[in-house]
Amino acid sequence: MATSRQARTIAGAEGWPAAGLAMPKVAPGRSQGHIRPMDALSPAFAYRLVATDGAARAGVLNTAHGPVETPVFMPVGTAGTVKAMTADAVRATGARLVLGNTYHLMLRPGAEQVARFGGLHRFMDWPGPILTDSGGFQVMSLAKLRKLDADGVTFQSHLDGATHRLTPTRAVQIQHLLDATITMVLDECTPFPATEAEAHASMELSMRWAALSKEAFIARPGYALFGIVQGSVYPALRAASAGALTGIGFDGYAVGGLAIGEGQATTHAMLDATVKLLPADRPRYLMGVGTPDDLIGAVARGIDMFDCVIPTRAGRTGRAFTSAGVFNLRNARFAGDARPLDSHCACPACARHVRGYLHHLFKAEEMLGPMLLTWHNLTYYQDLMRGLRAAIIEGGLVRYAEAVRAGWTAREDP
């Protein structure tokens, strides 16, 4: 593996370029027993292919914080918490890899603060692997007065207006301070729509930043740095971007700048144009996607990793993804419904309560409503990914996908 050969340090303190933070190992109460020690015995970060079915792949990611079966869906833990869930509850859904948002954590509580607490794993009680984004996407969508230049982006915090600057080097450094298992390069998520010229310039900037991110990354066994393919909806730009990134060499490759308004058919066309150009021995991650139907379509096209706020955000507003389609539990027709939300689901919302109870919780604006429905939706997503993986291994992905989709349309809804 390229990263293990380049490893300059194990603990991450030695040789750290800028801030010189010692990354003290703060013991938070009794949590130390939960933390897998990061030592020389950590395995190299690696993707092992288990089976293929068409372009779809089942595999295993080895990481410093444990293995992850793929295809995998990562719940989004924006500010050091998957909203409305304890870490134990997230684990109970079957999730093994979660995402943290660099933008939110750098502003509050601050990357150095998280490092002083021993890293994000300890801070949020998630000893398993964590992927952090680079912060670039949220800077463009959330921050005030952002100004992009060739070397990075200067912006004002949406929380207090304070000025911050994010460069490829700083983005990687922040993710190191957070102790991210998988670090993402800083990129510009090209807005949609964009002309080919705009998309080209934006992609070129992202490729330069990718190279700078690679230079800044301190490799450690079991840790990874992923590049991000850009190029908007232009196959030639996507191909050029994939070529540039594989030339630099990353531990995994993300496809960015999709699912931002271009429509599912175009997303699929871009995946078809891109995935075949990515190395088969590296994981592929489609950023910010999506609905259950999106996941099925992308897994069939060879994507291994996903993250999205849809299941958690929907859960907080009363929308449930089920084997019989999407339900809005706020709807009055559920008030007297004594059936479980999804009879195929073993989560607490389904196994312990009737739909009428969930309806009641949302009408009464009780926090338990968002808590239970988030738990359910994440369980549904994890079950779906496990089902897709099993189908790939058995060579029956098309049949499985058809059966799942048939369930959604043959709604057993009253």
Binding of its own copies at residue 403 (CB under 8 A)? no
Q: Which residue has the tokens 């490759």?
A: 253
Q: Residue 236 or residue 335: which is nearer to its own copies going by CB?
A: 335
Establish if 357 lies at the interface with its own copies (CB under 8 A): yes
We find the least distance from the C-beta atom of residue 222 to its own copies, in angstroms, to be 23
User: Quick one: which segment of 144-152, 266-274, 298-306, 356-364 binds its own copies (CB under 8 A)?
Assistant: 356-364
Nearer to its own copies, 210 or 372 (CB): 372
Question: Residue 256 or residue 340: which is nearer to its own copies going by CB?
Answer: 340
List the x/- string, 82-111, binding to its own copies by CB under 8 A.
-xxxxxx---------------x---xx--
Q: Note whether 285 and 305 are within 8 A (CB).
A: yes
The answer to whether residue 141 forms part of the interface with its own copies (CB under 8 A) is: no
CA 169, chain centre distance (Å): 21
Burial label for 19, CB within 10 Å (0-12, 13-18, 19+), is middle
Nearest to its own copies of 127, 249 (CB atom): 127
Q: Does 117 bind its own copies (CB under 8 A)?
A: yes
Torsion of CA 382, 387, 389, 395, to 10 degrees: -170
Measure Cα distances from 301 to 56, 238, 369 in Å.
6, 15, 35
Catalytic residue list contains 307? yes
Which residue out of 53, 294, 307, 383 is catalytically annotated?
307
How many CB atoms are closer than 10 A to CB 395? 12
133 is known as an active-site residue: yes
Structure-token match 């930043």, residue found: 209
CB neighbourhood size of 236 (10 A): 11
Distance from C-alpha of 225 to C-alpha of 302, rounded to nearest angstrom: 20
Query: Taking contact as CB under 8 A, which single stretch among the options 49-57, 162-170, 280-288, 355-363 is the one that binds its own copies?
Result: 355-363
The answer to the question of residue 354 lying near its own copies (CB under 8 A) is: yes
* Distance in Å, CB of 387 to its own copies, minimum: 20
Closer to its own copies by CB, 113 or 141: give it: 113
Two structure tokens written together for 74: 């990562």
Rounded to a whole number of angstroms, the minimum distance from the CB of residue 405 to its own copies is 24
Site for its own copies contains 336 (CB under 8 A): yes
Query: Which of 229, 237, 371, 373 is the binder for its own copies (CB under 8 A)?
Result: 371
Minimum distance between the CB of residue 351 and its own copies, rounded to whole angstroms? 5
Residues contacting residue 402 through CB under 8 Å, at least 6 positions apart: none
Look up residue 201 and give its two tokens: 């310039």
Q: Is 119 an interacting residue with respect to its own copies (CB under 8 A)?
A: no
Order of strands across the sheet with 182-184?
Answer: 72-74, 305-307, 284-286, 252-255, 224-229, 182-184, 130-132, 98-100
**Interaction between residue 207 and its own copies (CB under 8 A):** no
- Spatial separation of the C-alpha atoms in residues 32 and 293, rounded to whole Å: 39
**Active-site residues: which are they?**
133, 307
The footprint of its own copies (CB under 8 A) covers 26-31, 34, 79-81, 83-88, 104, 108-109, 113, 116-117, 122-125, 335-336, 338-340, 343, 348, 350-354, 356-357, 360-361, 363-364, 366-368, 370-372
